[in-house]
Every structure is written in structure tokens, then in C-alpha cells.
Amino acid sequence: MISSEILIKEHDVILKRIVNIRTTLNGTLGNGIDQFEAFIQFCQIYADDFHHAKEEDIYFAWMRGKNPQLDNGPLMCMLSDHERGRFLIKFAIEAIQKYKETQDGSYLMNMKKAFLEFATLLENHISKENDVLYKLADEMDQTFQDGDKFMLSQFEKVREKFSSVVAQFE
């Protein structure tokens, strides 16, 4: 499905950012926390608001409509990962804020731990989606042959809604 291919390309953008943040985390914090705040913005806007809107509200909804039992298996797992990622980003935001208020380096360590866990979570999550869930959806589409018809116009609406901010991340 073209819909699956679109989501995989977005995953590639996300994975490139993960590599960059891992490199930054393994280096020094000498450039300040601006790069981490930029990563948070990317995660919130591109990964969560833009990409997850397509997955959760459109792609997963199509899959659920074709097979409601998926809600108690792979879709629940993917949604759980999304929620865990949101929690880790929130935790990193709070750690950065506390660091700015106190200059206590322990908050930077908390931020670093959150980002490292987030990076690992996303790498594993993307692998599960690309290698398992999207292949399952593609197989379902071979039976129903309406996945792209259902999803592509909705994907385009999401892209239009976020066009001004998403372009800076791709």
C-alpha cells in the first residue's frame, strides 16, 4: 500500500533524528540544551502530532475496522509505545525546565536517560511497525483492496494541516 510506504518514509526521517540525538548525547553538552529542545519540538510536532495522527486516527482505524480483534494485540502494543514515548518526552521537558531553574546537573542526567530510553523505544517500535504491523496491513489490503482509498485522502489532509511546520523537519 502507498499508505504504508508513506509511513515508512516518515519513520526514516524519525530514525535519522534518533541517530543525531544519540550522537549528541554521547558527546558533551557544551552547546547547551538548544539541540535537545529542538529534538523535543521535532518529536512533538513531526513524530507525534503529524505522524501519529496518520497512524492512530487513520491507519490503525482502518485496520481496526477490518479486524476489531487487532485492538487487543498489535494495535494495543503500538498505542502503548506511543504513550510511553509521550511520557518520556514530557519527562525530558520537565528535566530541562528544572535544569534551567536550578542549574543542577542531575536534571541533565535525567533528561539524557529519558532521551536514551526514548531513542531505544522508537527504534524498536519502528521496527515492529515496519516489519510486522505494516506487512499485516498490506496483507489485509490484498483481501479488502480499499486501504489506500480509505487512507490517502485523509493522509493528505493531515499533511496540509501541518505543511508549514513539517517541511522544516524533512
- Write out pLDDT tens, residues 78-104: 999 999 999 999 999 999 999 999 999
Q: How confident is the model at residue 31 (pLDDT cuts 50, 70, 90)?
A: low
CB-CB contact of 64 with 75 (8 Å)? yes
Mean predicted lDDT score pLDDT of the chain:
94
For the chain, the C-alpha Rg in angstroms (whole number) is 17
Asked if the model's pLDDT at residue 29 lies above 60, the reply is no
Per-residue pLDDT, 109: 93
Q: Residue 34, class by beta-carbon neighbours within 10 Å (0-12 exposed, 13-18 middle, 19+ buried)?
A: exposed
Separation between Cα atoms, residue 116 and residue 133, nearest integer Å: 24
pTM score of the predicted model: 0.94
Among residues of the chain, what percentage have pLDDT more than 70? 97
First to last CA, the chain: 21
Helix axes 147-166, 134-144, angle to 10 degrees: 140
